[in-house]
A and B are shown apart, each in its own frame.
Chain A
Amino acid sequence: MEKFTSHTGTGLPLRRSNIDTDQIIPAVYLKRVSRTGFEDGLFAAWRQDPQFVLNLPQYKLATILITGPDFGTGSSREHAVWALQDYGFKVVIGSRFGDIFSNNSGNAGLLLAKVSHEDVEQLWKIVENHPETEITVDLEARSITASDGFTTSFTIDDYTRWRLLEGLDNIGLTLRAEDKIAAYEANRPSYKPTTIPVQTGS
Chain B
Amino acid sequence: MTTAKTLSEKLWDAHTVTSDENNDLLYIDLHLVHEVTSPQAFDGLRQAGRPVRRPDLTLLTEDHNIPTVDVDKPIADPVSRTQVETLRKNAEEFGLRIHKLGDLDQGIVHIIGPQLGLTQPGTTVVCGDSHTSTHGAFGALAFGIGTSEVEHVLATQTLPQRKPKTMAVNVNGDLPAGVTAKDVVLALIAKVGTGGGQGYVAEYRGSVIEGLSMEARMTICNMSIEWGAKAGIIAPDETTFEYLKGRPHAPQGADWDAAVEYWKTLRTDEGATFDVEVDLDAAELSPFVTWGTNPGQGVPLSASVPDPETFFDESSRTAAEKALEYMDLKAGTPMREIAVDTIFLGSCTNGRIEDLRAAADVIKGRKIADSVRMLVVPGSARVRLQAESEGLDVVFKEAGAEWRGAGCSMCLGMNPDQLAPGERSASTSNRNFEGRQGKGGRTHLVSPVVAAATAVTGTLTAPADLPDAG
Contacts and interface: CB of A to CB of B under 8 A. Distances in A.
A162 B158 CA distance: 20
Nearest to A107: B148
Contacts of B322: 16
A196 B162 CA distance: 31
Contact of B433 (A20, A28, A34, A100): A20
B86 A33 contact: yes
B315 to A, nearest CB: 4
Given A74-B130, A158-B22, A180-B17, A191 B146 contact: no
B36 A77 contact: yes
B151 interface: yes
A77 B228 contact: no
Contacts of B130: 74-76, 100
Given A73-B195, A195-B58, A181 B158 contact: yes
A170 interface: yes
B25 A177 contact: yes
A108 interface: yes
A26 B228 contact: no
B385 to A, nearest CB: 9
Contact of A76 (B21, B146, B228): B146
A99 B319 CA distance: 21
Most chain B CB within a 10 A radius of its CB, from A69, A76, A173, A198:
A76
A159 B23 contact: yes
Interface string B425-467: 0000001011110010000000000000000000000000000
B194 A18 contact: yes
Given A33-B83, A76-B145, A191 B262 contact: yes
A126 B195 CA distance: 27
Given A33-B82, A34-B40, A171 B104 contact: no
B343 to A, nearest CB: 21
Nearest to B151: A171
Interface in B147-194: 147-149, 151-152, 155-158, 160, 162, 194
Interface in A176-192: 177-178, 180-181, 184-185, 188-192
Given A74-B225, A98-B198, A189-B262, A198 B144 contact: no
A200 B104 contact: yes
B306 interface: no
Given A45-B439, A77-B146, 15 more contacts: A20-B294, A22-B436, A34-B39, A34-B40, A76-B145, A78-B128, A78-B147, A103-B146, A171-B151, A191-B256, A192-B120, A193-B29, A195-B57, A195-B97, A198-B248
B57 to A, nearest CB: 6
Interface string B48-77: 101000111111000011000000000001
Interface of A: 16-18, 20, 22-23, 26-28, 30-35, 45, 68-70, 73-79, 81, 96, 98-101, 103-104, 107-108, 157-159, 162, 170-171, 173-175, 177-178, 180-181, 184-185, 188-200, 202
Contacts of B55: 195
Contacts of B248: 198-200
B272 interface: no
B230 interface: yes
Contacts of B225: 74
Given A73-B194, A171-B50, A31 B435 contact: no
B176 to A, nearest CB: 30
Q: Sorted from nearest, which 9 A-B pairs have the closest CB atoms? A: A107-B148, A159-B22, A104-B146, A78-B146, A33-B39, A191-B259, A191-B255, A78-B147, A31-B79
Contacts of B83: 31-33
B156 A171 contact: yes
Contacts of B414: 27-28, 30-31
Contacts of A79: 147
Contacts of A31: 36, 65, 77, 79-80, 82-83, 414
Interface in B70-121: 77, 79-80, 82-83, 86, 97, 104-105, 116-118, 120
B17 A74 contact: no
Nearest to A35: B40
B216 interface: no
Nearest to A26: B435
Given A76-B37, A191-B262, A192-B29, A103 B156 contact: no
A22 B431 contact: yes
Contacts of A184: 17, 27
B79 A193 contact: no
A18 B296 CA distance: 11
A126 B248 CA distance: 61
Contacts of A73: 194-195, 228, 294
Given A78-B146, A100-B145, A22 B434 contact: yes
Contacts of A178: 156
Contacts of A192: 29, 120, 123
Contacts of A22: 412, 431, 433-436
A1 to B, nearest CB: 9
Given A22-B436, A26-B413, A34-B40, A100 B146 contact: yes
Given A73-B194, A103-B145, A193 B37 contact: no
Given A27-B413, A33-B40, A70-B195, A195 B152 contact: no
B29 A200 contact: no
Most chain A CB within a 10 A radius of its CB, from B23, B58, B64, B97:
B23
Nearest to B15: A184
Nearest to A199: B248
A99 B199 contact: yes
B422 to A, nearest CB: 13
Contacts of B152: 107, 170-171, 174
